[in-house]
Each structure stands twice: as structure tokens, then as C-alpha cells.
């Protein structure tokens, strides 16, 4: 992939989906939502990794059903909201279901094929204090 944001999101998803593949855990990819639940009743062992709900008219129903699955088990859970997640107003919809933003994650995409790490890449500027120019997705480009 040539899109650094897509690279970051793909690596994030590949990493965290393993938690849903452990014995006793369940990885689900339903209605555009990739999530897992496990018998471990603490974070980060129960959460939504990706949301790509194609039909915005069904978003409330899907979000409510997934959130209720966690709440019925009385386990803490989190729902990650990534730049490519849909519907576009996902943050507002999650808040309407009682899910508040608690952290902004940082991601980085570096080309390591040259045998030496280079500081050229894309980083997410979570607090906007670095002086980098953010792109529309909230990412900023860093040049060496």
C-alpha cells in the first residue's frame, strides 16, 4: 500500500485481531464491525477494532447491538474510531451510545526497506503541539 494512513490502520488491525483468536475469545466481523470479546474482564481484551458500516441507516442498530453485547457481560470495552471508519459521523453516534473519547492514538509509517530507519513518514499528531501541518484525516507529514 502506498497510503501511509491505510498502512497504519492495516498494521493496527493485524496486531489487535490476534486477541480475538486466543482460546475462549471470539473474533467477529459482522455488519462492517470487526470486534472481539474474551473471557478476560478487563481492558484491552474486549473491544471494537474497525468500523465500516456501509449503510448509515443501520449504524445505530449495529452500534447498539455490539455495545449491548459487552454491557450484558458487564465488561469494560473500548471502541476505536479510526480515520477511515464509517459512517462519517461515527464519533457522534458512539457518543449517543454513551461512548466517550478517552484517548487519541499515535501511529507511524516508516519505510525500513533501506536497512536503516529513516524519520521520513507519517505520524499522527494527537495534541497538535508539534507544529506539523495536519492533513484532513488528522495526520501530519514529517520529512527528514
Whether residues 119 and 92 fall in one domain: no
For residue 140, the model assigns a pLDDT of 45
100-138 tens-digit pLDDT = 888 777 777 776 676 555 455 544 444 444 444 444 444
Whether residues 40 and 60 fall in one domain: yes
For residue 61, the model assigns a pLDDT of 97
Whether residues 41 and 83 fall in one domain: yes
What pLDDT band is residue 1 in, cutting at 50, 70 and 90? Answer: low
Whether residues 84 and 130 fall in one domain: no
Which of 4-8, 72-76, 88-92 is least confident?
4-8
Total domains in the chain come to: 2
Q: Which helix (H) or strand (E) holds 75?
A: none
Whether residues 17 and 83 fall in one domain: yes
75-87 tens-digit pLDDT = 999 999 998 999 9
What is the domain extent for residue 76? 4-96
Please list, in sequence order, all residues whose beta carbon lies within 8 angstroms of the beta carbon of residue 66, skipping any fewer than 6 positions away: 33, 35, 48, 79
For residue 114, the model assigns a pLDDT of 64
Whether residues 82 and 127 fall in one domain: no
For residue 7, the model assigns a pLDDT of 87
Domain boundary among 96, 116, 134: 96
Distances (CA, A) of 138 to 14, 25, 62, 64, 106: 22, 33, 26, 27, 11
Q: Which helix (H) or strand (E) holds 69?
A: helix 59-73
Amino acid at each position: 500500500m502506498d497510503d501511509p494512513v491505510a498502512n497504519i490502520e492495516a498494521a493496527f488491525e493485524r496486531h489487535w485481531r490476534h486477541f480475538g483468536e486466543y482460546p475462549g475469545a471470539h473474533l467477529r466481523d459482522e455488519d462492517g464491525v470487526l470486534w472481539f470479546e474474551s473471557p478476560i474482564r478487563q481492558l484491552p481484551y474486549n473491544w471494537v477494532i474497525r468500523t465500516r458500516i456501509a449503510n448509515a441507516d443501520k449504524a445505530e442498530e449495529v452500534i447498539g447491538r455490539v455495545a449491548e453485547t459487552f454491557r450484558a457481560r458487564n465488561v469494560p470495552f473500548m471502541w476505536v474510531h479510526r480515520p477511515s471508519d464509517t459512517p462519517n459521523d461515527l464519533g457522534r453516534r458512539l457518543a449517543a451510545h454513551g461512548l466517550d473519547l478517552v484517548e487519541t492514538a499515535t501511529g507511524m509509517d516508516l519505510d525500513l526497506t533501506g536497512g536503516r530507519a529513516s524519520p521520513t513518514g507519517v505520524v499522527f499528531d494527537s495534541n497538535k503541539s508539534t507544529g506539523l501541518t495536519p492533513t484532513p484525516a488528522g495526520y501530519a507529514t514529517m520529512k527528514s
